[in-house]
Structure 1
Amino acid sequence: MRINMITLLLVIPLIGSFCLLPFRENSPLNISRMKQIALATSLLNLLISILLWIEFDYNTTDYQFVYEFKELSFCHLNVGVDSSSLFFVLLTTFITPICLLSNWTDITEKLKYFLISFLILETLQIAAFVVLDLLLFYIFFESVLIPLFIIILTWGASSSRIRAAFLLFLYTLFGSLFMLLAIMTIYHYLGSTDFQLISLTEISLESQKWLWLAFFLAFAIKTPIWPLNTWLIKAHVEAPLAGSILLAGTILKLSTYGILRVLLNFLPDATNYFSPFVQTLAIISLIYASLATIRQSDTKAVIAYSSVAHMAVITLGLFSNSLIGLEGAVLLGLGHGFVSPALFICVGGVIYVRYHTRVIFYLKGLATHLPVFTTLFLIFTLANAGIPLSLNFLGEQLSLIGLWDRSPISAALGATGILFSACYSLFLYNRISYGSLSPNLKPVKDLDRREFILLFSLLVPTLLLGIFPNVVLEALHLPLSTLLYIVPSSTF
């Protein structure tokens, strides 16, 4: 069972995709069956990932549930999970059914291909988190671009979707080309790209520096860090709701995982050398994104810019060289993966479906007719601002506390993000929810059952993990502590 668990996670979404292929969108019955098959597939994968979590052993740093596929001479697939990848796999399987339900009634054209795209994306993301080979990691890290490109290009919001899709594709492809060159260099010297072999190899500081810069460019674009964040804002604004949820919830976490797995693990000396540079970029990104957020008039653009600010805090935690900071970065990554999708559902789903606008100054007084929605919207807004009892609060505090011992000035500047996030989050909520209902807006119904289930499903882990963070932290103590040691420099 242990051997087959990860393979099931990878194969089940593909099986669901194949089951959708024979269907034609020529009747309401077929459309309903396609949706049910896709949702059942994603929920089954979520159940398997939970079983994987239950059977996971926290007392070892070794890879678990390892499986090697050697049946084909040209393909050697080696997969496994450790604590660094386990929770990202869980986040991926949790967010996928949320994505499918978010556009449950909105997508009417090419629905089959829409559902298949998200199921394939689930497999590709899980594969990126579980492969134990650097070249395979690059392949799956890049392969998510293809379905994302198709999703934005085909089901985007306006004619600007074409520009947004190409920006997403070209930005990330450009950065990853340098990562491919670095992987080829490693293979040239070591004759392998296996994770365990690379981790046992001593690499000179000069070699580490060049390799680190190549990997960091790819991860910085995917994070994204200023000035490489242009693609994310346009992609969020133009993507369908499910695409925005996926981008914020899991796609951005590929870079977080890549930094943990590659930069901190394989290139520790170069990471230590470049940490002040990364912290400077992260602080600039945080302040720039926060100030830009305050000036936005599009509700989805506000959430998109806030994602850039929160990812900057995650970056500060990752490069804090402290156990507290690393654990805080992972917690904030998970918290952002719950709260940001919920906010996109609020502004890009509930409000947009009812009023067909995302202009902040056109919306006013929604609490009058949407009391349940505004209550949940308030909770997620406060969580986005990092209030106590939320997972975001713990993530931000631990990231900044961990950074304080290494660089108090960087930690103090990073803490300005808490103030800025309160400003733009409360402005958005207050402007939309309170006051008299705008005369241009008609009274509408409150949340329906599907919308309430979506928001409540994201609220539960945000609060439960915010109150009981040890559920995650106990699994992170041991593996993340090994990333604090600096490997002595030597030549290849």
Structure 2
Amino acid sequence: MLLTFLFLILILGIVGLIFIPSSQKLIMRQFALGITSAVFVFSLFLWLGFDQSTPKFQFVVDSLWLPIANINLILGVDGISLFFIILTTLIFPLCLLASWSFNKGEVKTYLISFLSMELILLLVFTNLDLLFFYIFFEAVLIPMFLVIGIYGSRERKIRAAYMFFLYTLLGSLFMLLGIVYIYLFAGSTNYEVLSVINFSSYDQKWLWIAFFASFAAKVPMLPVHIWLPEAHVEAPTAGSVILAGILLKLGSYGFLRFSLGLFPLASVYFTPFIFTLSLLGVVYTSLTAIRQTDLKRLIAYTSVAHMNLVMIGLFTGTVIGVEAAILQSLSHGFVSSALFLIIGVLYDRWHSRVVKYYGGLTHTMPIFIIIFLFFTMANLGLPGTSSFIGEFLLLVSAFEANSTACFFAATSMILGGGYSLWLFNRIAYGNIKMIGLDLNFREFMVFLPLVIGTLFMGLYPNLFFSVMHATVSNLVWVDLWL
């Protein structure tokens, strides 16, 4: 019942916000923050009660929906989805706290959109039925579309919202066709039932392509990555944090759960294709990031590079590569979220994201610069931070799979050093161009959990690997590469 309880809290929170008068903005903010904080606390009990010795799904909720058609709403948690759930429940209260003084537009709609997003994302990460996964996978577009289109910061926000919506929706239509074919073939959309069905090699290849069209747009991979920088630049700070910290993980999670889990032969067949696209994405977006003048656009391109590196790890076909890819996804959720929050702090004070307007903040905002330096180093993969473990093991597994691919993937660390240190140097040092107040207590408390999480994952990675190991080792497709 623990999983059901999480969803009930969020549903009650959404209903409660509807009935709070729109004039009571402070009460609405406090109520929404309390709801998301409670959800995070209860999600930690999933980790405490999780049996890491078994690959089976736990905390299963099986609700009859259409038994005559053998379609049911089934929810469950395993070693792969557990940490994505915890990451989601952590990021949302931080976003609400970071946007505490955000007053653009109707506050009630803003808060309801975020609680709805959290509810839908948790349903995506726990769903064990393909049809319902597709429904919730697409439903998350609606609240994010509203957040970008209504609460965006610039004139191109409507265009960015439509780009985000259409790019991700059109790709997912192919996945819907694949799900229809699977249902007609197997008579079920239950993931556990489908995992023991052997699709022919021909069927697997076409189904893999159908699912690839959907998940590649979410990662995003070249050439369907264009929507991401636009959406990031136009979205409010909290919207950018959700985009980078969680929504991009839907693509890698979908590849791991469905493309690799259900279509192993096709995954082996298309591995060179994935490696090629991912390496192009890593090199191209890293080089593109170096020449950006907008802070958000720069970090957006770095997100594409890091998520394409995750894709290389997923398709190395080794247990260590997959586990490293999951850890790197989680690390990216912490680090990229913090970097967008850092940009949000600057934007709140001076309403500009142009790099050349900043400089010398070491003299006026020392605490801010210390946190900025920490996450810059984490973004580089400094030993002791979460990114180091993920990137190192990713490159080890990539070298085992393809040494040439590993060489080009490793360039991401060199290029990453280029754009990260260049950005930090421009903002922290030089002549003082802006004079503003340092972080206040609320802003500091937003960054503190992310700092702790980044260090904790970097210093004690085995706590995470031990939970996901049984599930990853049980994936049938892994043995095909060995």
Taking structure 1 as the reference length, the TM-score comes to 0.95
Equivalent-residue separation in structure 1 for 2:65 and 2:328 (angstroms): 40
Matches within 5 A, 1:94-109: 94-109=90-105
Distance 1:444 1:201 in 2: 61
Does the CA contact (< 8 Å) of 2:278 and 2:308 recur in 1? Answer: yes
**Residue 410 of structure 2 is aligned with which of 410, 415, 440?**
415
Aligned to 1:162: 158
Q: Distance in 2 between matches of 1:47 and 1:221?
A: 32
Q: Partner letter of residue 250 of structure 1?
A: I
Equivalent residues in 2 for 1:141-152 (5 A)?
141-152=137-148
Q: 1:320 aligns with which of 304, 308, 316?
A: 316
For 1:24, the aligned partner's letter is P
Q: Answer yes or no: is the 8 Å Cα contact 1:365–1:433 preserved in 2.
A: yes
2:303 is equivalent to residue 307 of structure 1: yes
Structure-2 residue corresponding to 1:459: 451
1:470 Cα deviation after fit = 0.7
**Equivalent of residue 221 in structure 1, options 209, 217, 223:** 217
TM-score by length of structure 2 reads: 0.97
Q: Kindly provide the CA deviation profile for residues 36-88 of structure 1, in whole angstroms up to 9, marking residues without a partner as x.
A: 11000001100110011100000001110111122787973111111011110
Using the alignment, how far apart are the partners of 1:158 and 1:24 within structure 2?
A: 29
Instruction: Measure how far apart 1:25 and its partner are.
Output: 2.8
Equivalent-residue separation in structure 2 for 1:358 and 1:142 (angstroms): 31
Partner Cα separation in structure 1 for residue 358 and residue 65 of structure 2: 58
Query: Which residue is equivalent to 1:56?
Result: 50
Matching of residue 345 in structure 1 with residue 330 in structure 2? no
Which amino acid in the other structure matches residue 13 of structure 1?
Answer: L
Match for 2:215: what amino acid? Answer: F
Looking at structure 2, the residues matched to 287 and 486 of structure 1 have their Cα atoms a distance apart, in angstroms, of: 27
What is the DSSP-based 3-state SS (H/G/I as helix, E as strand, rest coil) of the residue aligned with 2:19?
coil
- Report the Cα distance in structure 2 between the residues aligned to 1:389 and 1:328, rounded to whole angstroms: 15
Q: Which moved more, 1:396-405 or 1:56-65?
A: 396-405
Distance 1:282 1:71, change over 3 A: closer
CA distance in 1, matches of 2:103, 2:305: 30
Amino acid at match of 2:350: Y
Q: Is the 8 A contact 1:320 1:402 kept in 2?
A: yes
Q: Give the deviation of 1:9 after TM superposition.
A: 1.6
Q: Secondary structure at the match of 1:76?
A: strand
Question: Is 1:395 the counterpart of 2:387 in the alignment?
Answer: no
**Aligned 8 A contact 1:352 1:358 in 2:** yes
Among 378, 385, 395, the residue aligned to 1:383: 378
Find the residue that maps to 1:70 and give its secondary structure: strand
Other-structure match for 2:290: 294
Aligned residue among 449, 471, 474 for 1:482: 474
Match of 1:448 in 2: 440
Structure 1 residue 142, shift from structure 2 partner: 0.7
Report how many aligned residue pairs link the two structures. 478
Q: What is the percent sequence identity of the aligned residues?
A: 44
Does the CA contact (< 8 Å) of 1:202 and 1:487 recur in 2?
Answer: no
> What is the CA-CA distance between 1:109 and the residue it aligns to?
2.3
Q: Which of 421, 428, 431 is matched with 1:426 structurally?
A: 421
Indicate conservation of the 8 Å contact 1:269/1:486, yes or no: no
* Residues 1:10 and 2:4 aligned together: no
Unaligned 5+ segments in structure 1 are none
1:82 matched to 2:74: no
- CA shift in 2, pair 1:189/1:487, >3 Å: farther
1:358 maps to which residue?
A: 353
Read off the aligned partner of 2:398 and give its amino acid letter.
L
Whether the 8 Å contact between 1:303 and 1:344 is mirrored in structure 2 is yes
For each residue in 1:439-460, what CA deviation from the matched residue of structure 2 results, as whole angstroms up to 9, or x when unmatched? xx3x211000111011111110
Q: 2:28 aligns with which of 20, 34, 49?
A: 34
The answer (yes or no) to whether the contact 1:269–1:487 under 8 Å persists in 2 is no
How far residue 158 of structure 1 moved from its aligned partner, in angstroms, is 1.0
Indicate conservation of the 8 Å contact 1:317/1:329, yes or no: yes
Give the distance between the partners of 2:465 and 2:103, measured in 1 at CA: 39
Alpha-carbon deviations, 1:90-149, whole Å to 9, x = none? Answer: 111011101111111023420001000000100100000111101111111111000010
3-state SS of the aligned residue for 2:76?
A: strand
Alignment of 1:129 with 2:145, yes or no, is no
CA distance in 1, matches of 2:120, 2:478: 32
Shift of the 53–273 alpha-carbon distance from structure 1 to 2, 3 Å rule, reads same
For 2:89 and 2:366, the matched residues in 1 are separated by 31
Q: Secondary structure at the match of 1:77?
A: strand
**Any idea what the Cα deviations from partners look like across 1:264-312, whole Å, max 9, x if unmatched?**
1100000000001000000000001000000000001111000000001
Aligned partner of 1:471: which letter? L
Identify which of 58, 61, 68 aligns with 2:62: 68
Instruction: State the alpha-carbon separation in 2 of the partners of residues 482 and 314 from structure 1.
Output: 20
The 1-side partners of 2:319 and 2:476 are apart by 7
Contact persistence 2:373–2:424 (CA under 8 A): yes
In structure 2, give the amino acid aligned to 1:43: S
> Which amino acid in structure 2 is aligned with residue 222 of structure 1?
K
Equivalent residue, structure 2, for 1:210: 206
Change (3 A) 1:237 1:302: same
1:385, distance to aligned residue in structure 2 (A): 1.1
Is the CA contact 1:322–1:484 (under 8 Å) kept in the aligned structure 2? no
Give how far 1:198 is off: 0.4
Give deviations 1:209-265, integer Å, cap 9, x for gaps.
000001011111000001110001100000001100000111111111111110111
For 2:31, give the aligned amino acid. I
Mark the CA change 1:486 to 1:417 in structure 2 (over 3 Å): closer, same or farther. closer
The farther-off stretch of 74-83 and 413-422 is: 74-83
Deviation at 1:487, TM superposition (A): 8.3
Q: Aligned with 1:405: secondary structure?
A: helix
Q: Tell whether 2:21 aligns with 1:21.
A: no
- Give the Cα–Cα distance (whole angstroms) in 1 for the partners of residues 268 and 77 of structure 2: 26
CA-atom RMSD, angstroms?
A: 1.3
Shift of 1:355: 1.4
The aligned counterpart of 2:134 is 138
